């Protein structure tokens, strides 16, 4: 969306500001595109009126651990959701 449509076109098409506070979770896939993915999300969210709440766990893995350890997965999930 960011690369295909562009942030300016997205901004021009926003009809109503969302006025929300959200935590975005990009997970370990943030490394895609040279670690620009979090910035893409941040810019898209901000033009829609979303305020991003930073957390220390926004780049933690949320999938692979399911296969490795149920306990570890649940522990990390709990950290992210707190």
- What tokens does 75 get? 């522990």
- What tokens does 37 get? 């993915």
| Confidence label for 33 from pLDDT (cuts 50, 70 and 90) | low
pTM: 0.66
Domain boundaries, the chain: 7-81
pLDDT in tens, 34-64: 666 678 888 999 999 999 998 887 877 776 6
Q: Is residue 7 helix, strand or coil?
A: helix
Rounded Cα gap, residues 32 and 21, in angstroms: 25
């Amino acid at each position: 969306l960011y690369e295909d449509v562009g942030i300016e076109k997205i901004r021009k098409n926003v009809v109503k500001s969302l006025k929300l506070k959200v935590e975005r979770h990009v997970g370990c896939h943030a490394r895609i595109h040279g670690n620009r993915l979090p910035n893409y999300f941040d810019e898209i969210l901000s033009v829609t009126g979303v305020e991003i709440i930073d957390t220390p766990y926004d780049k933690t893995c949320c999938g692979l651990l399911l296969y490795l350890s149920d306990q570890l997965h649940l522990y990390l999930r709990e950290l992210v959701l707190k």
